[in-house]
Structure 1
Amino acid sequence: MESQSQQQDSPVYANYEDMRNSGPTSSTAYMINMGPGAVATEQPQQRKRSGLNQQYRGFKTSENEPRGCMEWLVTILSVLVFIITSPISIFICFKVVAEYERAIIFRLGRLSGGARGPGMFFILPCIDEYRKVDLRTVTFNVPQQEMLTKDSVTVTVDAVVYYRISDPLYAVIQVEDYSLSTRLLAATTLRNIVGTRNLSELLTEREILAHHMQATLDEATEPWGVMVERVEIKDVSLPVSMQRAMAAEAEAARDARAKVIAAEGEKKSATALKEASDVISSSPSALQLRYLQTLSSISAEKNSTIVFPLPMELLTPYLAKYAQLMPPPSTLPPVPEKSDAELINAAAAWPKTNL
């Protein structure tokens, strides 16, 4: 307990106390270098970051370096000004940050402790300045990027990026404008990822590409204290000519599949009809039963006309009986043949009518 209280009272530990308690979703593990008994504190439910995390922890600042005589003099004068002008100076020197904000204080240009907030904090007049950092999730649209895919197809892609500040101290000290830097990096990363993928992969594997882009951005922005939470690819636009070509290709593929399916159906139906005809030919009564079944199906539809197929086998005895009464073809009288001259004279003698 004593060692723990000594660690909490140490100035280095106090610098990072506010950042360590920045929230249950913080993804940063703060390393406090305190000799052989170094302590690493980490919030629960945090997401594991890359191995570069330890490399940027504990970067050197000038807050614990000894101050010069001029700095001490200016600090004393600032305190005297605060005392003389109080209670008016109280309204100027006390600041408040909201629950979702943190404040980084600089005293004479040097870092003065870690991130402060939420709540009220105190600054000295004339020598202290502070910067607020918003810890809420920020959403921005990546501008539409027109680029070539791996198979040389021009596409236009846009995405949405969600990020938040996981370390306010790094967001202020390590980068000039973390918001602008993250936006430019997102646009560049999107172009790089799309350029290494084919068009089919870009259209069918959006989720995989989004996760890849999110991991790449998160690793690059970690030294800035920025954590990229989510990346979504909104739309992939193709040229009109490419859309028509893909539509024609898909239509041709569907037509080919339809013809193949129809041909297979015809083949199966022909095989089934052949088997049925073999069964019917083996039993003459089966054909009559089929006729009766057809008649029942026709009559069920309330048709006014019923076509009744009459088997030729029923007419065979009657045809044989009347064939005996007919004379043979050789006994019929011959038809007289006329010559061409007789046909011409008959046509000339035909009466003519006035039309």
Structure 2
Amino acid sequence: MQTVRVSNVESAPEETVCADGPPTTDVEVLEPRDVPLGGPRAMTVRRTLPQRQRSLIGAWCFADHYGPDDVAASGGMDVPPHPHTGLQTVSWLFAGEVEHRDSLGTHAVVRPGELNLMTGGHGIAHSEVSTPGTKVLHGAQLWVALPDADRHSPKDFQHFVPTPARIDGATVSVFLGSLAGQTSPVETFTPLLGAEVVLDAGATVELGLDAAYEHGVLADTDGFTVDGTDLARSALAYLRTGQTVLTLTNRSDDPARALLLGGPPFEEEILMWWNFVGRSHEDIVAAREEWMAHAERFGEVQGYAGEVQHLPAPTLPAVRIRPRRNASRAPQDS
């Protein structure tokens, strides 16, 4: 059976300097690009962050949307132990189940509507495998950049099951931060918002926003308009700070689902390469070397049954990876 791997395990990942560009409209639509992961025949995910047009929304620095994937045809998810630094991973499923193991000793099953948040900090390793009972795999993989003061924090894992709430023709599940009277107890290093919003067929909902946050709406289905702007499936709508109300409309005859992400603008410059978030070329080089040397920094994942017990890091580019200052933001409307 073919095995499909889902993580940022591209064979030749490009270095990404994260710097926000100025918005051009009130709703800026970021189109997804297809990225094959785990080999040329692997599952294709649809990536909206990072990209040249915009690298971060708050501290959210990475967004992949995948599925629905027929596991009988693809083989499902099988990501061997691999490292992370300087970030938190946020896994959110719409269908299927994923078994998570990490070098902290965590062994958990992630299910639809349940949050899996792992802190890489100074260094962690983990594996992700769809369960034998999974027929369809469908979800989102998100990353959060850690501020410089916290990016060497100890490895950690949190699991949370939010209680869905009905609001004006919509069902809202808040897994990070606060929205519509719901608050998640999950700890993050910067203020964040993460919520699933499911609109009834033909419904419109208005959600109050924190004006200090910038926001993103990642559409899982077709049919959405975001403040009157059409948003196709897998696209991400960006809304700058200063907005206090978000209007979502479902123009379709079926329920429509999206993820709402947000946070205050992340003003620090960061550098991303493969599964590492750092502040300099030296950060990335050191993390790669220590991972390849099986250093204690990342630890070992116990219980993963695949043949590859330690996913090799790609070769670094031949040029020095350089961060640059964030682009200035457009002035807010009065």
TM-score, with length taken from structure 2: 0.21
Query: Structure 1 or 2: larger helix share?
Result: 1
Query: Structure 1 or 2: larger strand share?
Result: 2
Q: Which has the larger radius of gyration?
A: 1
TM-score, with length taken from structure 1: 0.20
Ranked by relative contact order (alpha carbons within 8 Å, sequence separation 6 or more), the top structure is: 2
